Chain A
Amino acid sequence: DTGVSQDPRHKITKRGQNVTFRCDPISEHNRLYWYRQTLGQGPEFLTYFQNEAQLEKSRLLSDRFSAERPKGSFSTLEIQRTEQGDSAMYLCASSPTGGELFFGEGSRLTVL
C-alpha cells in the first residue's frame, strides 16, 4: 500500500534561493492539496488540484509560490526567492472525491 510520498523530507537553503518540493499522491485520488504548517499551528491551506486543474489558491499565497500537477499525477510546489518567513513544514495530501485527506510526511524547509 503506497501512501502519499513527499520529497525531499528536509531542505535547508539560503535566503533568495529557489526550492521545489514534489508530492506523489495515492494513485486513485483525483484531488491533491498543499498545506503549510508552522510550529504550534494547524495546517494552512495553500492550493488545491482536481486532476491537473488548479482549482483554488489561497489569497494569502505570495506570487513567489507556484504549484503544478501535470497530467494529474504528481505535483510540485516551487518557492522562488525564499525568505526566512517561508520556513515551515509543507504538507501534501490527496483525497478521493468527497473523501478525507491522506497526508504525506511533509517537507520541512529551513531558510537561513
Chain B
Amino acid sequence: AQTVTQSQPEMSVQEAETVTLSCTYDTSESDYYLFWYKQPPSRQMILVIRQEAYKQQNATENRFSVNFQKAAKSFSLKISDSQLGDAAMYFCAYRSAPGNQFYFGTGTSLTVIP
C-alpha cells in the first residue's frame, strides 16, 4: 500500500504570514492524484486543493498553493496571508489514477496566532 507521511504534527503561523506544510509519499505508480484536506475543529473535512501527477504546473486556489516535486515524491502546501479561519488539521492524501482507495497522512495541526 502507498504511504503518505506528514512529518510536522503541529505548526503555527502569525496571522497574515505564510506557512508551508510538508508531505511526502511513497509510490511506484506514475499516474496518481494528490490532495490536501482541511478539518476544522468539530467540523467536516473539506478539500483544499488537488494536483494531478501528470500536470507539471503546481495547483493554486486563491491563498493556497502547492509545490509538487514528482521526482522527490514531495507535495507541500503553502498558505499565504494566513487567516484565523485557516486554523485546522490538514491532511495530505494520495489516490492512484486507476485506483479507488485514498491514503491519508497523520495530519498537521495548524495554529494561527492573532
Q: If the complex has contacts A91-B45, A103-B46, A106-B44, are A40 and B101 also in contact, measured as CB distance less than 8 A?
A: no
Residues of chain B within 8 A (CB-CB) of A50 are 100
Q: Assess whether B100 is in contact with A100, with CB atoms less than 8 Å apart.
A: no
Q: Assess whether B107 is in contact with A41, with CB atoms less than 8 Å apart.
A: yes
Q: Assess whether A42 is in contact with B47, with CB atoms less than 8 Å apart.
A: no
Q: Assess whether A43 is in contact with B104, with CB atoms less than 8 Å apart.
A: yes
CB distance from A9 to the nearest CB of B (A): 10
- A interface, CB within 8 angstroms of B: 3-4, 31, 33, 40-45, 48, 50, 55-56, 91, 93, 100-106
Among A33, A42, A55, residue most surrounded by chain B Cβ atoms (within 10 Å): A42
Q: Bound state CA distance, A50 and B44, in angstroms?
A: 22
Q: Assess whether B101 is in contact with A45, with CB atoms less than 8 Å apart.
A: yes
Kindly supply a per-residue 1/0 record for chain B positions 1-24, scoring 1 wherever the CB is within 8 Å of any chain A CB and 0 otherwise.
000100001000000000000000
CB distance from A72 to the nearest CB of B (A): 15
Q: Assess whether B50 is in contact with A103, with CB atoms less than 8 Å apart.
A: no
Majority-rule SS of B interface residues: strand
Q: Bound state CA distance, A106 and B39, in angstroms?
A: 11
Q: Bound state CA distance, A41 and B105, in angstroms?
A: 8
Choose one: B44, B93, B101, B106; the contact of A56 (CB below 8 Å).
B101
Q: Assess whether A48 is in contact with B100, with CB atoms less than 8 Å apart.
A: yes
Q: Assess whether A41 is in contact with B44, with CB atoms less than 8 Å apart.
A: no
Residues of chain A within 8 A (CB-CB) of B103 are 45
Q: Which of B68-89 contact A (CB under 8 A)?
A: none
Choose one: A31, A44, A100, A104; the contact of B35 (CB below 8 Å).
A100
Q: Assess whether A42 is in contact with B104, with CB atoms less than 8 Å apart.
A: yes
Q: Assess whether A103 is in contact with B45, with CB atoms less than 8 Å apart.
A: yes
Q: Bound state CA distance, A42 and B9, in angstroms?
A: 11
Q: Assess whether B47 is in contact with A55, with CB atoms less than 8 Å apart.
A: no
Q: Bound state CA distance, A103 and B47, in angstroms?
A: 9
Q: Bound state CA distance, A55 and B99, in angstroms?
A: 11
CB distance from B11 to the nearest CB of A (A): 15
CB distance from B25 to the nearest CB of A (A): 13
Residues of chain B within 8 A (CB-CB) of A4 are 44
Residues of chain A within 8 A (CB-CB) of B45 are 43, 91, 93, 101, 103
